[in-house]
Amino acid sequence: MLFKKEHLDEIREYIKKDNLKGYLILTSDPHSSEYVSSYYLSFRNYFAPFSGSAAKLLITLDKAYLSTDGRYYIQASKELEGSGISLVKEGLESLEDDIILKNNINPIGTSFNLINEIDYERLTNKGIKLVDKDYSFLIKDRPSLSKEKVFKLDESLNTLSVKEKLEYIYKKLDEVKAKANLISSLDDIASILNIRGKDIPCNPVFYSYLYVSKDYGNHLFIDLDKIDFEISDINIHPYDDIFKFLEEHKDIPTLVDKNKVSTKVYSLINNKINGSNPSYLLKAIKLEKEVQNTKKIQALDGLALVKFHKYLHENLSKNLSELDYSNKLKEFRLSSPLCFDLSFNTIAAVGKNAALMHYSPTLEHSSIVNDKEIELLVDSGGQYYGGTTDTTRTFLIGTPSKEFIHDYTLTLKALIGVSSTIFLENSDGHTIDIRAREFMWKEGMDYKCGTGHGVGYILNVHEGPNGFRYYVSKDRDDQGKLVPGMITTIEPGVYKENKYGIRIENNLLCVPAFTTNDGKFYKFETITYVPIDTKCLDLTIMSDEEIKWLNDYHKLVNEKLTPLIDNQELKDYLDELTKEIHR
């Protein structure tokens, strides 16, 4: 199943036979998921040696192009060497404009089951003719789809019942004069039904469709082998029956989100009402139980990272690898009975590897960690019965240069800038992003990714519509208004190719601040409880307010983690990590 150059020759025979000029492979599945199962990911991986989570692959009769975003520029350029595939850097150039239209690569084949309707329309509106073709049959030894059972969440984990969520959707459908809502996005379905699955690694969702209608019933389409319990008010059907069902109900006024549904499914609905699924915003705003549970598991997660920090420094002389440390952190997390999985593959990167934003060690590629390097960057998270975490810390393990100390301090200043922001109601993350970047922009620096993203609740680690970004990305829905109950990461960084990478990341809960004659104001509550390394800070460029923020944060971390520690040695270690700093 691994990439070979001959695979490009194989698919080109079909492209030519079908009178196409090219074929477009998306990193996608029929539900527009950001992360997909190995079954769907194998389609791209068979034709390109790229291991990142986001990319588009265009294969023409004599060339091939892989387009990815700033998180993967360095990684993709290394992985594509010798493959015959050219890298297109999204944000600096466009696959559609600079490759397809400029070279008149038209028509292009793609699977209408794997492209969402909004992307289909965007491409066709540019004059690109798309033809429905599926060449995935060329993949040899393709992985199978998961047969893992779905599972119910305990009532203590959800504020709203399934019935209450359905009633909310009915009300929203009445407002837009729709009689039904077709929901294709997997995290929305899992959220509405208060159940989870194991179909996509680190994402507790399951492949399915959900049709919600007060008049025509509520219908779940799923592999019947995966579910062995009934759900009140829900009729359960085989997964593939969705196509016949929609044909039979095609004239019913149906709310559908073009960003979240494939062109194949979208085309089956005649009476479409376009708009966002009501469940999308509902799941993004965490209510009382979700907030309480998330804070609880964030403390458990923080404890795992403190244990990891201690283990790291006690074992530097053993020349363990990045993968060894990654596995050890996973062990610390899973030692809690509330943790059932990671929320994404751990990024454990030393030295120049840390400059690759989404580098993950593997058995084949894993560097040795010792104090000859300056830092070990660890970006990781867990899936808990009680929430989802995403935390990054850059651990100092060697002797930092003046340049590193400066960049590390800038990164912390950026994190504090957003974390301490107070903002007016109706603001979004695009309003606030400058509070992080201003420290780097003043020095002509930038990190080529968003500053933060929404986080799901026992769901996907990336969740809209909230996020921090200064520009509009067609691939990211993160322009939503920030409202109390939303959880958003703040993760600025500095990445210098072949030198080092720095990132510090916390999770922020939006909460009310105060109300004046000028309106309602909101602020952020930091709900990540993990010490921030203070040994490589330049206090001369930190303000008194920033130093106070850091000391107050470490006091909070100590208060949250101390009740969980029954070992005096570990408690002493925590005290040392969280002690106050002074000029």
Q: Is residue 126 part of a domain?
A: yes
How far, CA to CA in Å, does 269 sit from each of 145, 235, 245, 248, 274? 27, 20, 10, 10, 11
Q: Does 227 share its domain with 345?
A: no
Asked whether residue 198 is domain-assigned, the answer is yes
Q: Looking at 283, 312, 336, which one is the last position of a domain?
A: 283
- 3-class DSSP state for residue 335? coil
**Is 57 in the same domain as 98?**
yes
**Does 384 share its domain with 532?**
yes
Q: How confident is the model at residue 1 (pLDDT cuts 50, 70, 90)?
A: low
Number of domains in the chain: 3
User: For 431-439, what is the mean pLDDT?
Assistant: 96
The answer on 83 and 60 residing in a single domain is yes
Shared-domain flag, residues 385 and 504: yes
Do 199 and 103 reside in the same domain of the chain? no
CA distance linking residue 147 with residue 222, whole number of Å: 11
CA pair distance 43, 59, nearest whole angstrom: 13
How far is CA 112 from its chain centroid?
A: 24
pLDDT in tens, 142-151: 999 999 999 9
State yes or no: pLDDT of 474 exceeds 80: no
Identify how many contiguous H helices and E strands the chain contains and give both numbers. 16, 28
How far is the C-alpha of 301 from the C-alpha of 561, rounded, in Å? 10
Q: How confident is the model at residue 358 (pLDDT cuts 50, 70, 90)?
A: confident
CATH of the domain at 478: 3.90.230.10
In the block, which residue shows the tokens 């695979």?
7
Q: What is the pLDDT of residue 38?
A: 95
Does residue 475 carry a pLDDT above 90?
A: no
> Which residue's structure tokens are 């599972």?
151
- 109: its two tokens: 């084949």
Report whether 100 contacts 58 (CB < 8 A): yes
Bond into 107 cis (ω within 30): yes
Tell me how far apart the alpha carbons of residues 552 and 197 are, in angstroms, rounded to a whole number: 39
Q: Give the three-class secondary structure for 517.
A: coil
Show the domain range for 378: 285-577
Query: Residues 249-282, buried b or exposed e (16+ Cβ, 10 A)?
Result: beebbbbbbbbbbbbbbbbbbeebbebbbbbbbb
Asked if residue 274 and residue 202 are part of one domain, the reply reads yes
Per-residue tokens: 583: 């000029």
DSSP 8-state symbol, 153? P
pLDDT, tens digit, for every residue of 9-59? 999 999 999 999 999 999 999 999 999 999 999 999 999 999 888 999 999
The verdict on residue 145 lying in a domain is: no
298 and 223 in a common domain: no
**Euclidean distance between CA atoms 16 and 32, whole angstroms:** 28
* Same domain, residue pair 301 and 168: no
Of the residues 138, 161, 185, the one at which a domain ends:
138
Q: Which helix (H) or strand (E) holds 167?
A: helix 162-175
Give the type of residue at 112. F
Tell whether 254 and 290 lie within a shared domain: no
Does residue 482 have a pLDDT over 70? yes
User: DSSP assignment, residue 249?
Assistant: T
Terminal alpha carbon distance of the chain: 57
Residue 522 has pLDDT above 90, yes or no: yes
Mutual orientation of helices 568-577 and 544-561 as an angle, nearest 10°?
A: 170
Report the CATH number at residue 170. 3.40.350.10
**Residue 248 above 90 pLDDT?**
yes
278 preceded by cis ω (within 30°)?
Answer: no
Residue 197's pLDDT band (cuts 50, 70, 90): very high
Q: Give the torsion sign (CA, 184, 186, 192, 194).
A: positive
pLDDT, residue 152, reads 97
Q: What is the pLDDT of residues 266-292, one digit of tens each?
A: 999 999 999 999 999 999 999 999 999
State whether 179 and 205 are in the same domain: yes
Q: Are residues 111 and 173 in the same domain?
A: no
- To which residue do tokens 């510090």 refer? 504
In a domain, 435, yes or no: yes
Confidence of residue 68 (pLDDT cuts 50, 70, 90): very high
Neighbours of 481 (CB within 10 A): 16
- The tens digit of pLDDT for each residue in 445-464 reads 999 889 999 999 999 999 99
Question: Is 264 part of any domain?
Answer: yes
What span, in angstroms and rounded, lies between the C-alpha atoms of 166 and 160? 10
Task: Output the CA torsion sign for 73, 74, 80, 81.
Answer: positive
At residue 410, the 3 state secondary structure works out as helix
In a domain, 409, yes or no: yes
Measured distance CA(485)–CA(133) in Å, rounded: 43
Using CA atoms, how far apart are residues 429 and 450, in angstroms rounded to an integer? 10
For 57, counting Cβ atoms within 10 Å of its Cβ (0-12 exposed, 13-18 middle, 19+ buried), the class is buried
- At 6 the three-state DSSP class reads helix
Number of CB atoms found within 10 A of residue 2's CB: 9
pLDDT for 30 equals 98
**pTM for this entry:** 0.95
Q: Give the residue from 40, 6, 9 showing the smallest Cα distance to 25.
A: 40
CA–CA gap between residue 225 and residue 229 (Å, rounded): 11
- What is the residue-wise DSSP string for 73-97? HHHHHHHTTTTT-EEEEBTTB-III
Q: With bands split at pLDDT 50, 70 and 90, how would you rate the model's confidence at 246?
A: very high
- Chain centroid, CA 365 distance in Å: 23
Length of the chain: 583
Nearest to 265 by CA among 209, 324, 220: 209
Q: Which residue, 224, 253, 283, sits at the end of a domain?
A: 283
Q: How far apart are CA 78 and CA 20, in angstroms?
A: 30
Q: Closest by alpha carbon to 117, among 107, 125, 109?
A: 125
Instruction: State how far the Cα of 263 lies from the Cα of 166, in Å rounded to an integer.
Output: 26
- 143 occurs within a structural domain: no
Residue 340 Cα to chain centre, angstroms: 18
Sorting pLDDT into bands at 50, 70 and 90, what band is 538? very high
Q: How far apart are CA 351 and CA 369, in angstroms?
A: 9
* Residue 511 belongs to some domain of the structure: yes
- CA–CA dist 378, 273 (Å, integer): 44
Q: Which amino acid is at 582?
A: H
Residue that the structure tokens 């004069």 belong to: 177
Asked if 256 contacts 237 with a C-beta cutoff of 8 angstroms, the reply is no
The pLDDT tens digits of the residues spanning 294-321 come to: 999 999 999 999 999 999 999 999 999 9
Instruction: Give the DSSP H/E element, type plus range, for residue 376.
Output: strand 375-380
Q: How confident is the model at residue 581 (pLDDT cuts 50, 70, 90)?
A: very high
- Place 488 in a pLDDT band, splitting at 50, 70 and 90: very high
